Structure 1
Amino acid sequence: MSKRFLPEIVLISISFVWGITFVVVQDAIKDLPPYSFLAIRFFVAFLLLWLVNKLFIKQNVWNKAAILSGIGIGFFLFLGFGLQTFSLLYTTSGKSGFFTGMNVAFVPFVTLLFFQQRIKFPTLIGILCSVIGLYFLSGSIVGMNLGDILALGCAVAFAIQIALTGQYTKKLATYPFVIWQLLTVTVCSGILAAFYESFHPTVLLRPTVWTAVLVTSAFATVFAFVGQTLVQKQISSARVAIIFTLEPVFAALGDYLVNEITLSGIELIGCSSIIIGIILAEIPWKIRKKESVVTLDLD
């Protein structure tokens, strides 16, 4: 297979893993409190990636720039996953997935705030479509439940994480950069879990819990964030965000296959409008004369 489409294939695979694991996480946090789940998940992922780097990759994890950038971006990653996981206590995995997918509509505002990049008119049209979709999906903006609001906050945090990753990944070694992000999420989640949550250790022996921890640690965390960081060395944050709009589609699919939860006609219209909106937010409207070939550099 040509390497031309390798970055896109990696991002589609990440979107699939994130979308499908919405249901897995939702089942797990019925037994294990959300921040405890996040702390354990990201700690296992941290250990896995640390070992892979130490045994095979051997990149310097004590690089000062990687530490500072990893901790800073890791905090927004913590906010994103913390709000996302907590939202699953109050809304369906399909709806949480759709609201989380709105992060692509926020990416232009993040790049404007941090990097003074102008917001294009097509982006504003895309955002309008997304807002209309939210109205149809939730019934009304006022009537949104707590889970939907938490998922929207998650979208903002993920938008910041995507934009900052695109800015710093070209300057840093991939594995130390991601390792410090994972450790930051572990520590932040662990602090909240220690103060506000409690659970019996035997809960970790339940199949729904340990299966969710292993699957999300290996695939939805290590594979996902190493893959995202490698890809963002090659292509723009906007393209990454556009492809990540597939995540809520996979989330709704997983919700249907596992929980047999279907969306109404109006909700389907809302979902369609959101997807159209987040695509229009960053899609290039100019036809390029020649498309450059992109490969995935495994540095």
Structure 2
Amino acid sequence: MDTTRQTKRSLPSFVYKLMLLAATVIWGFAFVVMKDAVDVLPPAQLIGVRFLLTGLLMAAVFHRHLRGSLNAGFLGAGLALGAVTFLAFWVQTVGLTDTTPGKNAFLTATYCIIVPFMLWAVARRRPTVANVGAAVLCVAGIGLVSVAADTLTIGFGDLMTLLCAVFFAAQIIAIARLSQTYDVLGLTVYQFLFGGVLGLLLGAATEPFPGLAAVANADFLLNLAYLVVLASGVCYVLQNVGLAHVPEAQGSLLLSLESVFGVIASVLLCGEVVTGRMMLGFALIFAAILMSELAPQPEKREAPTETAPTPELEESPSATP
């Protein structure tokens, strides 16, 4: 059975951008939640449990989108996407054990400058002047917020967070390209199921289990529920559907607002102090987003005749901006 079908109509393009923005708000607060949760459950186990529960929940909700998906192409795409997603979150979570939630958020956001250049390598699509200019502004803003003025050294946690940005950039491109062939919601289900299995396997092989008493704590279970239902389930539906309709470089810069909300959450919940230097960094990042939104976009590759359906609605290939 074919895993794609002809689409008929779409939402306005700004709605898909609002989906990405909503995901960034939830993810921003997830940095603080993850910081608390990883103190109880080690990184690979935490990501494994989080992803597997999310995958099972989404499989129950979106089971119709899995029809006809038990074939090598669909399963292979889900495994590849699940692997790169697990690596991104696992490396990020390892980094979070050795840095602050705000700094982890902003260093993760450097994926937005990697995406256009990674596209250049895999799709021979040269970055535009706007991509380069927005990337420079974004890097400057991230530097003002996350790099200490008196030292230029980078700790282990920061290095791991920068590495995770490479995997997040690869994930964004993979989602945007694979969703042109496969049902985006069915793909998201496999993304989490495979990612969860990889996390549990790695965790069982390399990490000690903290014990039932620790994971049965009410605060930990509440944090896990936030991560599974909101930060994973809801956010990845919003992101994957949004990225299927928004150009990769532009979408990555919109998603970089996650870092701003991460610092806001750290300020509100952890008492982090916002300095004038940090405020200037925020302003530069918003300028980068604005440049990306207002500048002309390069012509997108020709869309296939059939694309994956979105929840409740279906899109026309020509509607992709």
TM-score bin, normalised by smaller chain = 0.7 to 0.9
Would the aligned equivalents of 1:34 and 1:86 in 2 still touch at CA under 8 Å? yes
Question: Which is richer in helix?
Answer: 1
Task: Find the counterpart in structure 1 of residue 104 from structure 2.
Answer: 96
Partner letter of residue 252 of structure 1? V
Identity %: 24
Q: CA deviation at 1:20?
A: 0.9
Alignment of 1:87 with 2:98, yes or no, is no
Q: CA deviation at 1:277?
A: 4.2
The counterpart of 2:281, out of the listed 253, 270, 279, is 270
Query: Structure 2 CA distance, aligned partners of 1:109 and 1:88?
Result: 26
Query: Structure 1 CA distance, aligned partners of 2:297 and 2:252?
Result: 20
Task: Find the counterpart in structure 1 of residue 234 from structure 2.
Answer: 223
1:21-100 paired onto structure 2 within 5 Å: 21-54=30-63, 57=65, 59-100=67-108
1:279-298 paired onto structure 2 within 5 Å: 280=291, 282-286=292-296, 297-298=310-311
Query: Structure 2 CA distance, aligned partners of 1:143 and 1:79?
Result: 25
Would the aligned equivalents of 1:87 and 1:146 in 2 still touch at CA under 8 Å? yes
The counterpart of 2:135, out of the listed 127, 133, 137, is 127
Task: Find the counterpart in structure 2 of residue 107 from structure 1.
Answer: 115
Report SS of the residue matched to 2:62: helix
Would the aligned equivalents of 2:95 and 2:156 in 1 still touch at CA under 8 Å? yes
TM-superposition CA deviations, 1:204-237 (whole Å, max 9, x none): 2112221122111111112222222222332222
Structure 1 residues 24 and 287 mapped into 2: Cα distance closer, same or farther (>3 Å)?
A: closer
Would the aligned equivalents of 2:254 and 2:289 in 1 still touch at CA under 8 Å? no
Q: CA deviation at 1:93?
A: 0.8
Q: CA deviation at 1:152?
A: 1.3
CA RMSD of aligned residues (A): 2.4
Structure 1 window deviating more from structure 2 (197-206 vs 60-69): it is: 60-69
Partner letter of residue 42 of structure 1? F
The counterpart of 1:181, out of the listed 177, 182, 191, is 191
Would the aligned equivalents of 1:67 and 1:176 in 2 still touch at CA under 8 Å? no
1:149-298 paired onto structure 2 within 5 Å: 149-198=159-208, 199-277=210-288, 280=291, 282-286=292-296, 297-298=310-311
Partner letter of residue 175 of structure 2? T
Q: CA deviation at 1:191?
A: 2.2
Structure 1 residues 128 and 8 mapped into 2: Cα distance closer, same or farther (>3 Å)?
A: closer
Structure 1 window deviating more from structure 2 (198-207 vs 252-261): it is: 198-207
Report SS of the residue matched to 2:179: helix
Would the aligned equivalents of 2:55 and 2:189 in 1 still touch at CA under 8 Å? yes
Report SS of the residue matched to 1:171: coil
Would the aligned equivalents of 2:82 and 2:191 in 1 still touch at CA under 8 Å? yes
Partner letter of residue 110 of structure 1? M
Query: Structure 1 CA distance, aligned partners of 2:196 and 2:215?
Result: 17
Query: Structure 2 CA distance, aligned partners of 1:97 and 1:275?
Result: 15
Report SS of the residue matched to 2:153: coil
Aligned residue pairs total: 289
Q: CA deviation at 1:274?
A: 4.3
Question: Structure 1: where are the runs of 5+ without partners?
Answer: 289-295
Query: Structure 1 CA distance, aligned partners of 2:81 and 2:148?
Result: 34
User: TM-score scaled to structure 2, two decimals?
Assistant: 0.82
Structure 1 residues 130 and 228 mapped into 2: Cα distance closer, same or farther (>3 Å)?
A: closer
User: TM-score scaled to structure 1, two decimals?
Assistant: 0.88
Question: Structure 2: where are the runs of 5+ without partners?
Answer: 1-9, 299-308, 315-321
Query: Structure 1 CA distance, aligned partners of 2:84 and 2:38?
Result: 21
Structure 1 window deviating more from structure 2 (26-35 vs 190-199): it is: 190-199
Q: CA deviation at 1:47?
A: 0.9
Structure 1 window deviating more from structure 2 (141-150 vs 167-176): it is: 141-150
TM-superposition CA deviations, 1:257-284 (whole Å, max 9, x none): 111112322233334434544664x445
Partner letter of residue 26 of structure 2? V
Would the aligned equivalents of 1:105 and 1:278 in 2 still touch at CA under 8 Å? no
Partner letter of residue 189 of structure 1? G
Which ranges of 4 or more aligned residues in structure 1 deviate by more than 6 Å? none
